[in-house]
Amino acid sequence: MRGSILTSSFIAISIALCGSAHAWNEGGGEQDEALHLTPDLENGMDVYEVCSACHLPEGWGTEEGTFPQLAGQHKEVMIKQLADIRALNRDNPTMYPFALPESIGDAQALADVVAYIEKLPMTPENGKGEWAEGTPEFENGKKLYVDNCVKCHGDDGMGSREKFYPRINGQHYNYMVRQFEWIRDGKRRNANPEMVEQIKRFTDADMKQVINYTSRIPVPKDQVAPSVDWMNPDFE
């Protein structure tokens, strides 16, 4: 019953806020509070049990892209995104009930869980696009990445924790395509306006090719699980 009430409240508030403008990264509030707290990894593991139902105990998400890989992501990026969802600055009706303080806790819980997730090794086989290195589509995607994405996400796709740019190496292709399309088309309200401007002229083909290239950027070996059969020992 409580979940139904929370979901209904969220829908009502979302309708009221629909179309309202939000600055990309104003900071303050819960975001700043969580960023300055010392994380408790043991509590972070306990909090992550709520998240693991969708993102998996390993934090790898799903290759078909419904749920992103969280393992290895910068904790600063995850704090911002969670704070945005909780403040209704990012639309995510599926996740919202699980991100509420009633479900996972206060700002300290945010700091704890993202610190735990950041330390998880990434999947050695993220979902990739269809074009292998050497194909014209791969090479065009690489050029688009160099011309448009390197400034923020880097040659290696590592992003920037200080600027809240996510690492995108090792992320699932289908998830990234969906987010790229939403950002390009103005459907993600907390998107960085500089990125919106940068990619607004991308065609669907450009979008798929640049994300195909991105999905194939290698992750450093010391940040990857030893095999696809690796299981998070904290949840065995």
Per-residue pLDDT tens digits for 147-177: 999 999 999 999 999 999 999 999 999 999 9
pLDDT value, residue 23 = 58
Of 6, 164, 199, residue with least CA distance to 81: 164
pLDDT exceeds cutoff 50 at 19? no
- Helix, coil or strand: residue 166: coil
CB 195 within 8 A of CB 149: no
pLDDT exceeds cutoff 50 at 4? no
Burial class (CB in 10 A: 0-12, 13-18, 19+), 193: exposed
Report the chain's terminal Cα–Cα distance, integer Å. 31
pLDDT value, residue 25 = 74
For 199, the enclosing helix (H) or strand (E) is helix 193-199
pLDDT value, residue 17 = 37
Tell me how crowded residue 95 is: count the other CB atoms within 10 A of its CB.
Answer: 18
Residue 28 — very low, low, confident or very high, per pLDDT cuts 50/70/90?
confident
Q: What percent of the chain has pLDDT over 90?
A: 84
- In the chain the domains, ranked by start, together with CATH numbers, are 22-118 (1.10.760.10), 136-223 (1.10.760.10)
Alpha helix ranges (H) inside 18-124: 29-35, 41-55, 75-86, 96-99, 101-104, 107-118
Written as six digits, the tokens of 42 are: 């043991």
CB 223 within 8 A of CB 73: no
Q: What is the mean pLDDT of residues 207-219?
A: 98
Residue 27 vs residue 72, higher pLDDT: 72
pLDDT value, residue 114 = 98
pLDDT exceeds cutoff 90 at 111? yes
The rounded mean pLDDT for the chain is: 91
Alpha helix ranges (H) inside 119-163: 136-148, 150-153
CB 35 within 8 A of CB 107: no
Burial class (CB in 10 A: 0-12, 13-18, 19+), 103: middle
Pairwise CA distance, residues 139 & 204, whole Å: 16
Pairwise CA distance, residues 126 & 24, whole Å: 28
85-103 per-position pLDDT tens digit: 999 999 998 999 999 999 9
